[in-house]
Structures are given as C-alpha cells and as structure tokens.
Amino acid sequence: SDSDEWSDAESDAAEGEQRECAATTGRREYFSRCAALEAVPCAMLVAKLRCEHINLRHAGMGVKGARALAAALAVNEHIRSLNLGDNAFGDEGCTAFVGLSNTTLTSLNLADNQIGFHGMRSLASALPGVPSLRELVLKGNVLDDRAAVPLTDALSGPAAASLTRLDVSYNTLGEASGLALGEMIA
C-alpha cells in the first residue's frame, strides 16, 4: 500500500540522516572510546554533539572523559566553541589532545583544569592540528614560566596564526613569560 511505501521511504531517509549525523558528530567514536576506557559517557556532551557552542564546565569529565572527547573532536564538524573549564583534566588529560585534527573549532576554554608544564607541552603540540582556533583560555591552571616555553614556541609558528585571544590569567607566569606571550599574539 502507499502508506507502507511512504513509511519505508521515511524510515530509510531517517536512517541515512542518522548515519550522516554520526559520521560528522563523532558520536560513534565517543561511545566507542568510552567503552574502551570503561568510562560513563557524559550525557550533556552526547546531547550537544551537533551544536556549535557547548558548555561542559564542571561536567566532571576527568582524564578518561578528555580521551573520549578527543576521539569525537577528531571527526566533529559542528562544534565551534567548547568550554571544558573545571573538568580535572590535569596534565594527563591534555595528552588526549596530542595529534588532534579539527578545522572547525574556534574557541577552546580549558580554564581551571590543573594544567601544568607537561599538559602545556601536550596542548602546544596539538595547536597545529587546530588551525581555526582563535581563542584559547587557560586561566586558573598551574602554568609557570617553564610551561610558557612550549606555548610560546607553538604561538611563534604558523599553526597559531589565527589565534587572536589568549587568556593565561590566574597562573604563576612571570613578567618575562607574559611579555613573550604578548608578543606572540600582538
């Protein structure tokens, strides 16, 4: 009957849209990585993988959450702005972003995540894979003059040419580091 044919066509179209959505959001990669890490998926993240702006501040993601998120970000074509403040990533969580390749992310907030020298080294090596990044917020971490070196090196290369805003306030950076970082984005 016509109604059965219409139902089948609608069903096929919906399945095709779901496959396309999964391919561009990283949902499949996220769930797969969560399973491999034995981590509980963050429902707020899953619900917003098709959104341009996601606020996951205080979501309690931790190191495993950072690793699962990185898998989704590697294929996500929707997220432009991502607030990951206060998720206890620490230096270890930052290693998840090494090798990340994402051309749509323009704003990344990693404030209050206990990121220090080793985490900054990992993040600095990830910057070339995110050429669209305009804003990077690292305030309230444990960055010191030693941690400023890899960041300054990354910002002096072509990979960070699009960066227009860097917030490293409420860290323990000295005057020399502040001047060097300021020159990189001026």
Q: Between these two residues, 65 and 156, which has the higher pLDDT value?
A: 65
Single-letter amino acid, residue 182: G
Q: Are 46 and 71 in contact (CB under 8 A)?
A: no
Phi, psi (rounded to 5 degrees) for 117: -60, -55
Q: What is the pTM of this model?
A: 0.86
Q: Which amino acid is at 160?
A: A
What was the pLDDT predicted at 114? 97
For 80-99, write each residue's pLDDT tens digit. 999 999 999 999 999 999 98
CA-nearest of 67, 55, 185, 182 to 122 is 67
Q: Which of 137, 79, 136, 80 is nearest to 106 (CA)?
A: 80
Tens of pLDDT along 3-12? 555 455 454 4
Q: Residue 55's pLDDT band (boundaries 50, 70, 90)?
A: very high
